[in-house]
Amino acid sequence: MVQRVVELKIQENHLSNAKREALEMTFVQGKWVRNFTIHAPDPFTVKLNGWVEVMMFNPATKKCDIPQNRQLTVLGAQLVQSVISQVGTDIVNLSKSKKKGRKVGGLRNVREMGMIPLKQYGKTHELNDKKDHVGCRA
């Protein structure tokens, strides 16, 4: 099995409004899952049942301290697992760096998410090398 990383450029003029909205919400909901996992008591055993607690901005205190539950409508279970495992990998890598004597900080909330790993080729996505296209299976 060969691992490869593919960087994609999405041509927005070829997307319908529904697909564009779904794609944007995939990354927004990935951000919600990542931020929720970072602040969980045990990030390695986070289990979600389709809902995530998101901290909203409070203008009175100028902090994000208003909890609000949001439903994961676009993000599938496999993508949620990918985001959670990525947070676990980030924690392990920070721990390794700290043991080597480097200064490290903790994981912080992200404002924007630009990558969600797709793990199962053929189930979540397909690559068409002849046309330089990626087909997603949702």
- Pairing label, strands 63-71, 51-58: antiparallel
Q: What integer best gives the mean pLDDT of the chain?
A: 84
Q: What does the block give as tokens for 59?
A: 């203008």
Quote the DSSP letter at residue 51: E
Q: What is the pLDDT of residues 52-90, one digit of tens each?
A: 999 899 999 999 889 999 999 888 888 888 899 999 999
Domain residue limits, the chain: 16-136
Q: Model-level pTM greater than 0.75? A: yes
CB 72 within 8 A of CB 80: yes
Torsion, CA 97, CA 103, CA 107, CA 108, rounded to 10:
-150
